[in-house]
Amino acid sequence: MNKPRLGLTAILILAVSQVFAQGGDPEAGQTKAVTCVACHGQDGNSISAEWPNLAGQHASYLARQLTLYRSGERQNAIMLGMVAALSDQDILDLAAFYAAKEVKPGVADDALIGLGQQIYQGGNAANGVPACMACHGPSGKGNPASGYPALAGQKDRYTATVLAAFKNGAVWGKGDNANAVMAMVAKNLTEEEIEAVSSYIQGLH
Ligand code: HEC
Ligand code: HEC
C-alpha cells in the first residue's frame, strides 16, 4: 500500500530538485531582458557581428559570464554597465531565458573555410594549437558539465575579438574561479588562423 506513495514522493522530490538545479525562470528572464535586446536581439540572435549571440548558449556559461562582468573579472566597459545592478536571481533568470532560445547560424567565408575547418577539427600540431573540437564538440555544441561553451553560429567579429584577447593572455575569472584554458589554446594561433576559425564557427551548426 505504501509503495505507490513512496514512488510519487520520489518523483516530486526529483521534480523539485530539478527546478532548484536549474535555478532560473525563463519567463522572468524575458521581462528582465528588455535592456539587452538592443544589442543581443529579441531572441538572443544579435544584430551586429561585433555583439555575441546568446541564444542556445548553456545557462551555466551565461550565468558565469554575467557574474564575471559584474565583479570586473571579465573586463568590458559596455557589459559592466549592463550588469552592475543585476541580482544573482536576475542573472539566473536571464541565463535561463537565453539558453532556451535557438541560435540562427550565419555563413562562413568560402575563402577561409578550408583553414578554419582544419584548425577547428585538427588544430595546428606544428604550433601547439589543439583541436577546438576536442572541447567544443564537432558541431560546436560545447559541454555544459565541463564548462565548455557552445560556439556554433557565433558572430565572427565577436569570436575574433575574444580569441585575440585570449592570445594576449586574457583569463576570465580570478583565483579558484580562473579558467586559463583558452589563454593556453590561443597563444600560438596566428592572426590568419583566428580569422579563419572565427568564420568557420559562424557557419557551424
Ligand atoms: C550596448 C550593447 C549591449 C547591451 C545593451 C548588452 N550587451 Fe551583452 N554584450 C555586448 C558586447 C559588446 C559583448 C562582448 C563583450 C566582451 O568582449 O567581453 C557582450 C557580451 C555579453 C555576454 C557574454 C557572451 C559570451 O558568449 O561570452 C553575455 C552573457 C551578455 N552580453 C548578456 C547581456 C545581458 C543579459 C544584457 C542585458 C542585461 C546585455 N548583455 C546587454 C553588448 C551589449
Ligand atoms: C581544453 C578545452 C578547450 C579547447 C581545446 C578549446 N577551448 Fe575554447 N573554451 C574552453 C573553455 C573552458 C572556455 C570558457 C572559459 C571561461 O568560461 O572562462 C572556452 C571559451 C571559448 C570562447 C569564448 C566563447 C564565448 O562565447 O565568448 C571561444 C571563442 C573559444 N573558446 C574558441 C576556441 C577555439 C577557436 C578553439 C580551438 C583553436 C578552442 N576554443 C579550443 C575550452 C577549450
Please tell me the number of the ligand nearest to residue 121's CA. 2
Two domains, one topology: 24-99 and 113-203: yes
179 Cβ below 6 A of ligand 2: yes
pLDDT of 10 over the 70 cut: no
pLDDT given for residue 169 in this prediction: 97
CA 5–ligand 1 middle distance (angstroms): 47
- Looking at ligand 2, which residue's alpha carbon is closest to its atom 38? 132
pLDDT given for residue 11 in this prediction: 52
pLDDT given for residue 36 in this prediction: 97
pLDDT given for residue 7 in this prediction: 56
pLDDT given for residue 18 in this prediction: 41
Nearest to 195 by CA among 125, 103, 122, 112: 112
pLDDT given for residue 6 in this prediction: 54
**Average of pLDDT values for 167-194?**
97
- Provide, rounded to the nearest whole percent, the portion of the chain with pLDDT above 70: 89
170 Cβ below 6 A of ligand 1: no
pLDDT digits (tens, 9 = 90+) for 52-69: 999 999 999 999 999 999
Residue linked to cell 578550408: 114
Q: How confident is residue 22, by pLDDT bands cut at 50, 70 and 90?
A: low
- Tell me the whole-structure pTM to 2 decimals: 0.92
pLDDT of 15 over the 60 cut: no
Q: Return the C-alpha cell found at 143.
A: 559541454
Burial of 131 by CB count in 10 Å (0-12 exposed, 13-18 middle, 19+ buried)? middle
pLDDT given for residue 9 in this prediction: 54
Which CATH architecture best describes the domain 24-99? Orthogonal Bundle (1.10)
pLDDT given for residue 28 in this prediction: 97
129 Cβ below 6 A of ligand 2: yes
- Rounded to an integer, what distance in angstroms lies between the CA atom of residue 43 and that of residue 20? 25
pLDDT digits (tens, 9 = 90+) for 146-172: 999 999 999 999 999 999 999 999 999
94 Cβ below 6 A of ligand 1: yes
76 Cβ below 6 A of ligand 1: yes
**Radius of gyration (C-alpha) of the chain in whole angstroms:** 19
Question: Is domain 113-203 in CATH 1.10.287.3510, yes or no?
Answer: no
Domain parsing of the chain, residue ranges? 24-99, 113-203
Distances (CA, A) of 174 to 74, 92, 148, 177: 9, 21, 18, 5
Burial of 11 by CB count in 10 Å (0-12 exposed, 13-18 middle, 19+ buried)? exposed
pLDDT digits (tens, 9 = 90+) for 72-112: 999 999 999 999 999 999 999 999 999 999 999 999 999 99
Residue linked to cell 505504501: 2
Q: How confident is residue 20, by pLDDT bands cut at 50, 70 and 90?
A: very low
- Provide, rounded to the nearest whole percent, the portion of the chain with pLDDT above 90: 89
